[in-house]
Amino acid sequence: MEIGSVNEIARLTHILFPNPNSWYTAEAKISNFKEEKILKMKKISFSWLHDLIRKLYDNLKTEGIRLTSIYFSPSLPKNIDRNTIYLECKPSILSFCLRDWGIFTKKYFLSATQLSHYSKKLYGNVIDMFVKKLSSLNIPVYEAGVEGGSFISNGKIGIVSMKNELSKYKELIDECGELYNFPEINLHIDSIISFLGEDVYLMNYDLLKTISEDLEYSICCNFKRIEKLVEKMKEKKYSQIKINGYYYGSEASVVTNILNIGKRKVVVVDNKGYVEKLVSREGFDVINLYPTKSFEMMKNLYVGIRCITLPVKRE
């Protein structure tokens, strides 16, 4: 069964390397960063995040999916686990999302050159370091001039929402099937829709409401193009599950972030259970990683597992 990649958990980002036999994720190792100084909140604990990652690891392992961590840390540990990759970097990496650095195919990484220039002003050479690490792992890197979050696919249909040159990458087209461009949408398509399989997708209308009220997004996004996208999905015989009238505000951007692991199973982190119920009604088995005991202090936190569904085979 072919499945997609984990790309973001709680803004501490997870990303997949294109190895058909493994899942790789990346996370910021907060304990090394003097968290009270960075976050200016001395009492906050991140045990919930480690608990969440452990639950994700255990559930994916049960499904035959191996999880390997990549830790970003100011200093490297003495003993390095063979299932963990470490990258040495500055603490400011905490506030940056790996998912925006580009797009992985099974054979190479398409670097987000548009974002590279901007991010270097904020985070120094961290993207160069990341690309160098990919090269050391024999993963080719090409510059595609596109943001990572602007692409999503279920292996049959690919949707791009930013101006791009992806059509020239044959391997990407082979992996995602037909490629449709909606450059006027101009925002992260993987927060608007999530594929649940070959014939069902989630549409996050509450996110559209939220960003339409945001001046930065409303200026650069033609929301009428969303209607064109919906029409295209109807034309391709996809049924739609609407997220509408429940989530609204800052949390709206994560509730569509569902990890599809195939065999009509999905993984969510849904503290209100609304999306879990919507998806269950459509006949999907839902693994909800929320709640855990350590989550209780974070009961108002909205966490998503962001998924860019490029085909990746199970072990």
CA dist., res. 278 & res. 294, Å (int): 26
pLDDT for 285? 93
pLDDT for 231? 93
Sorted by where each starts, the structural domains of the chain and their CATH numbers stand as 2-313 (3.75.10)
- Mean pLDDT, each 10-residue run in order, the chain (315 residues): 34 30 35 36 48 75 67 61 59 50 68 58 63 74 68 79 74 78 77 81 82 68 81 93 69 63 79 82 87 52 42 37
Tell me the longest C-alpha to C-alpha distance in the chain.
56
pLDDT for 169? 77
Cα 144 to the chain's mean position, in Å? Answer: 18
Residue 53 contacts by C-beta under 8 Å, 6 or more apart in sequence?
A: 9, 25, 27, 69
- Sheet of 109-111, strand order: 102-104, 109-111, 141-143
| pTM higher than 0.85 | no
